[in-house]
Amino acid sequence: QVQLRESGPGLVEPSQTLSLTCTVSGDSISSGAFWWSWIRQSPEKGLEWIAYIYYNGRSACNSSLKSRCTISVDPSNNQFSLRLTSVTAADTAIYYCARRFGSGANTDWFDFWGQGTLVTVSS
Amino acid sequence: DIQMTQSPSSLSASIGDRVTITCQASQDVRWYLNWYQQKPGKAPKLLIHGAITLEPGVPSRFCGTGSGTDFTFTISSLQPEDVATYYCQHYIELPLTFGGGTKVEIK
Q: What is the pLDDT of residue A122?
A: 97
| Nearest chain A residue to B42, by CA | A115
How far is residue A68's CA from residue B91's CA, in Å, rounded to a whole number? 23
Dihedral-angle region of residue B20 (phi above 0 means left; psi in -120 to 50 means alpha; beta otherwise): beta
DSSP annotation string for B5-25: EEE-SEEEE-TT--EEEEEEE
Indicate the pLDDT class of residue A100, thresholds 50, 70 and 90: very high
Q: What is the pLDDT of residue A104?
A: 75
pLDDT one-digit tens code per residue, A64-82? 997 899 999 999 999 999 9
Regarding beta strands B10-13 and B102-106, do their DSSP bridges make them parallel or antiparallel, or are they unpaired?
Answer: parallel
Q: Is the pLDDT of residue B69 over 90?
A: yes
How far is residue B107's CA from residue B93's CA, in Å, rounded to a whole number? 38
Q: Is the pLDDT of residue A112 over 90?
A: yes
Inter-chain residue contact A108 with B96, CB threshold 8 Å: yes
Indicate the pLDDT class of residue B68, thresholds 50, 70 and 90: very high
**B42 shares contact with chain A (CB less than 8 Å):** yes
| Nearest chain B residue to A111, by CA | B46
CB of A99 closer than 8 Å to CB of A4: yes
pLDDT one-digit tens code per residue, B20-37? 999 999 999 999 999 999
Q: What is the pLDDT of residue A105?
A: 74
CB of B95 closer than 8 Å to CB of B57: no
Average pLDDT over residues B49-73: 97
How far is residue A34's CA from residue A102's CA, in Å, rounded to a whole number? 5
Q: What is the pLDDT of residue A102?
A: 77
Q: Is the pLDDT of residue B92 over 90?
A: yes
Which of B45, B91, B100 minimises the CB distance to A108? B91
Measured in angstroms, the CA of A20 and the nearest CA of chain B are apart by 17
pLDDT one-digit tens code per residue, A17-75? 999 999 999 999 999 999 999 999 999 999 999 999 999 999 999 999 978 999 999 99
Of A6, A8, A5, A18, the C-alpha closest to A91 is: A18
Within 8 A of A63 by CB-CB distance, chain B residues are 1, 94-95
